[in-house]
Amino acid sequence: MTAGRNGLHPTPWLRRFLAGLVMALLASLPAVAGQLDRAGMEKYFPAPLVVGERDEALPVWPILKQAAGSYEVFAYAFESVDFAPIPGFGGTPPDLLVALGPDGAFRDVKVVSHHEPVFLEGLGSEPLFAFVEQYVGMSARRPIRVGRPNARGSGASPQNTVDGISMATASTRVINESILAASLAVARAKLGFGATHAGLTVGARPDADESLTVSELSARGWVRRLTVTNRQADEAFREAGLTAAGDGPPEAPLTDLTFAYLNAPAIGRSLLGLERFGALMRELGPGDHAVMVVSHGPENPLGEDFVLGSIPERLTVTQGGLAVNARDMAIERRGGAPGLPDGPWTILRITGAAGFDPSAPWTLTERIVRERGQIFPEKIARDFSADYALPARLFIREAAEAGPSWTDPWRARGPELGVIALALAGLVPVLVRQTGLVADRRRFSVFRLAFLAFTLVFVGWYAQAQLSIVTLIGLVRAATVIHDLAFLLYDPPSLLLWGFVLVSLVIWGRGTFCGWLCPFGALQEFVALLAKPLRIRQVAVPPRLDRWLRQVKYGLLAGILVAAAAGSPLADSLAEAEPFKTAITLYFVRAWPFVAYAVGLLILNLFVYKGFCRYLCPLGASLAVLGRLRLLDWIPRRAECGSPCQLCKVRCRYGAIRPTGRIDYPECFQCMDCVTIIHDPGQCVPQVVARRRGKRILPQPVAAE
């Protein structure tokens, strides 16, 4: 270690050594891949199940079970990292073992390995294990989303919603995306569904328009009917031992549906009229589709208790064997075109995320349900379907990439991003204009405490945007394993803050984050306010010991980064030197050793102001190193600073001012106290002396050491 412009920092030879070591590790580490062999698979699928031979083309294992004297496929087992290596917040992809049944249902989902920081000695892995267990019984044929904690208990559909985990929103989204992306890849290859619309965006051609009657539309097959007679229904249910239950003659319709795809102008305008078709297209989102279903038979598939805007339980749209999520649009439903049968009807919305291709054949299915027995009746269901297809000339087909999954958290957390962005926009002019609010000691003190409260409560505890050395560990692991930084996009508030902090490093150095935007740093400042009423005197750390202690954080940073580059779990253990996970992410709800450590640092803060930040924080060390790239020595100084005046040095609780009066920017937390003093003619000693002598002096920036 050698002295830099304003303090000690790693020597050039040490930096070159670490850089060379990291690059060597980058070149030597293998790509991420599944880790289970046959023996590993057999531990997860013991007898009576049998692990078959691994597929020659794909890393998929058939899991067999004996039935009727022979073996049949119970599930296809695979590891998510082999198909969807999406990096988590530890920088490496979570590895999930997925067992997908031949019908597309999840037979089992297990966690093989992960490096998600919030589940490593934080919440513990048990909540993660419980999270993935929710997928068992759900179908890969349906889109599955991560809801809020207890979303299903609050009424969300258990067929396509899993309960999220508090304080682990971003991690659960990554895991959900890993499971679904890997499962869909296997389903397309092994189960044969979901392949018709992959990589395409298909929209109705707006110029393919003509005015047609319902009869003309029916003649072209653009309006279709699904009719089930009493005889057909009785024959379908007779296999289950049910006798005829339909009223009327055998050839009379039990259910009669008329349905059509509405986005095509020639169909939608003809059925709805120009004005209502325009309103429908405006209400549909980009890439969404609308299907009209009119019921004019005795059996109404919507039911009398149907709730507008919900998913009809007895109507299903399928394509390529994949059930498409179709939800009622809850819009006005009257005044159809002449010739359209009378009866209750619905317009089903199919979102663009469903991957529906209206130019390819699809099927409308109605489920008819009857009961058997009287005391404990058993419900028996039979499905009846009708196919639908439109000519390709009605559509525009364009190759497109699937929308990235990280866009969901950006939309969901838009309000939080807006609030943080406004706060940052308000902070910048205060820090830039040093003669404004900063020069007023009382007003600036109120502003600073209010902003720190915002940082602690909103940024930290509410938005969960505490920046951490864990992100740097993730960056190193991502660089050494899969070369993918997409995991950063799953935590929008933190990414917004990282962007601001990196810019501020170039302008002001480390202090903007450490002094204003670190929730744990803000918590320490509020705890330090208790020192005076508690009559706790600050401990003066001897200068030589202080200089030595300040190097500890650099050594800790080096150890963490080297361990991360080497793929060692030691990096996660060393990262626990940060109390951020305990105090901010988990609200002190954690195992007692971690809580005792975090509380101990807060108590230390009463005696040695921000001792953790000054001596132990590895994130602060990384920012201090990067902060040496700053463009400005922005804190004004006078020739009298340091000799004879030592007021700023004495008042600086961070020890960031040298006896010479120069600023040690890597140790400066941008509290602005010295800036307030130098602009205050009542505090700044050189100004006080000059005023007594009838002179006026101006502060001047002084080059840092």
pLDDT (tens digit per residue) in 29-49? 444 567 888 888 989 998 888
pLDDT at 144: 80
Q: What is the pLDDT of residues 595-649, one digit of tens each?
A: 999 999 999 999 999 999 999 999 999 999 988 888 878 888 887 887 888 888 8
Please say if the pLDDT value at position 19 is more than 50. Answer: no
Closest C-alpha to 500, from 426, 447, 433: 426
| Residue-level pLDDT at 501 | 93
Q: Is 345 in the same domain as 465? A: no
Pair 178, 217 in one domain = no
Determine how many CB atoms are found less than 10 A away from the CB of residue 372.
Answer: 14
Q: Which two tokens stand for residue 133?
A: 């267990």
* DSSP states of 184-237: HHHIIIII--S-TTTTEEEEE-TT------HHHHHHHTSEEEEEEEHHHHHHHH
Could you give the percent of the chain with pLDDT greater than 70? 83
Residue matched to tokens 């102008």: 265
Q: Which amino acid is at 427?
A: L
Cβ-based neighbours of 425, under 8 Å, separated by 6 or more: none
Residue type, 31: A
pLDDT digits (tens, 9 = 90+) for 391-406: 988 988 765 444 455 6
Task: Give the Cα separation of 670 and 654 in Å (integer).
Answer: 10
> Residue 295: pLDDT above 50?
yes
What is the C-alpha separation between 438 and 448, in angstroms, rounded?
A: 10
Q: What is the average pLDDT across 261-266?
A: 92
φ, ψ dihedrals at 499, nearest 5°? -60, -45
Pairing between β-strand 145-146 and β-strand 161-162 as defined by DSSP bridges: parallel
Q: Are residues 460 and 573 in the same domain?
A: yes
Number of structural domains, the chain? 3
Shared domain for 505 and 620, answered yes or no, is yes
Q: Name the phi and psi angles at 370, rounded to 5.
A: -130, 160
| Backbone φ, ψ for residue 394 (5° rounding) | -85, -5
The pTM score is 0.56
Report CA Rg, the chain: 33
Other residues' Cβ atoms within 10 Å of the Cβ of residue 340: 21
Q: Tell which of 630, 648, 667 closes a domain.
A: 630
pLDDT value at residue 253: 87
Residue 615 is part of which domain span?
Answer: 407-630
What are the φ and ψ backbone dihedral angles of 484, each rounded to 5 degrees?
Answer: -140, 125
Confidence of residue 411 (pLDDT cuts 50, 70, 90): confident
Give Cα separations from 93 to 46, 135, 305, 516, 575 (angstroms).
26, 19, 45, 32, 19
Q: What's the pLDDT score for residue 527?
A: 94
Residue that is last in its domain, among 170, 191, 212: 191
Lowest mean pLDDT among 42-56, 193-207, 502-516, 534-548: 193-207
Across-strand partners of 701?
636
Same domain, 142 and 212: no
Indicate if 177 and 215 belong to the same structural domain.
no
Task: Flag the least confident range among 14-28, 297-311, 565-579, 585-599.
Answer: 14-28
Domain match, 591 and 614 both: yes
* pLDDT value of residue 335: 61
Two tokens at 606? 């009463």
Same-domain status, 474 and 394? no
Strands 636-637 and 700-701, how do they pair? Answer: antiparallel
Cβ-count burial 542-570 (b if 16+ within 10 Å, e if not): eeeeeeebbbbbbebbbbbbbbbbbbeee
3-state helix, strand, coil in the chain (%, to 5): 40, 15, 40
User: Using alpha carbons only, what angle is made at residue 437 by residues 670 and 606, rounded to the nearest 5 degrees?
Assistant: 40
Strand residue runs (E) in 230-331? 253-261, 289-295, 315-319, 322-324, 326-328
**CB-based contact 324:356 (threshold 8 Å):** yes
Q: Examine residue 17 and state whether it is found in any structural domain, yes or no.
A: no
Residue 484 lies in a domain: yes
Residues 6+ apart with CB under 8 A from 476: 22, 91, 561, 564, 565, 571
Q: What is the mean pLDDT of the chain?
A: 81
Q: How far is CA 475 from CA 480, 484, 536, in A?
A: 9, 9, 41
Check residues 77 and 474 and name the one with the higher pLDDT: 77
pLDDT at 1: 38
Separation between Cα atoms, residue 80 and residue 36, nearest integer Å: 12
Is 482 a domain residue? yes
Q: Report the C-alpha gap between 359 and 319 in whole angstroms.
A: 11
Structure-token pair, residue 676: 């307030």
Q: Is residue 601 part of a domain?
A: yes
Structure-block tokens of residue 49: 């199940």
For CA atoms 529, 532, 537, 541, give the dihedral sign. positive
User: Residue 155: which residues within 8 A CB-CB, separation 6 or more?
Assistant: none
Q: Both 229 and 150 in a single domain?
A: no
Looking at the predicted structure, is the pLDDT value of residue 665 above 70?
Answer: yes
Task: Check whether residue 277 and residue 367 sit in a common domain.
Answer: yes
Does residue 391 sit in the same domain as residue 458? no
Give pLDDT, residue 291.
Answer: 93
Q: Last residue of some domain: 346, 373, 399?
A: 399
Same domain, 563 and 600: yes
Residue 552 and residue 616 in contact, taking contact as beta carbons nearer than 8 Å: yes
User: For residue 2, what pLDDT is reported?
Assistant: 39
- Is residue 530 over pLDDT 50? yes
Has residue 288 been placed in a domain? Answer: yes
Per-residue model confidence as pLDDT tens digits over 5-18: 333 344 444 444 44
The full length of the chain comes to: 705
How large is the average pLDDT for residues 315-335? Answer: 74
* Residue 103 banded pLDDT, cuts 50, 70, 90: confident
The answer to whether residue 100 scores a pLDDT higher than 80 is yes
- Is 5 contained in some domain? no
pLDDT at 519: 95
In a domain, 354, yes or no: yes
Q: In which element (H, E) is residue 276 found? A: helix 274-283
Q: In this predicted structure, what is the pLDDT of residue 545?
A: 93
Instruction: Please give the pLDDT value at position 108.
Output: 92
> What confidence tens digit (pLDDT) does each residue in 193-239 have?
554 444 456 788 887 788 889 999 999 999 999 999 888 888 888 77
Is 700 among the domain residues?
Answer: no
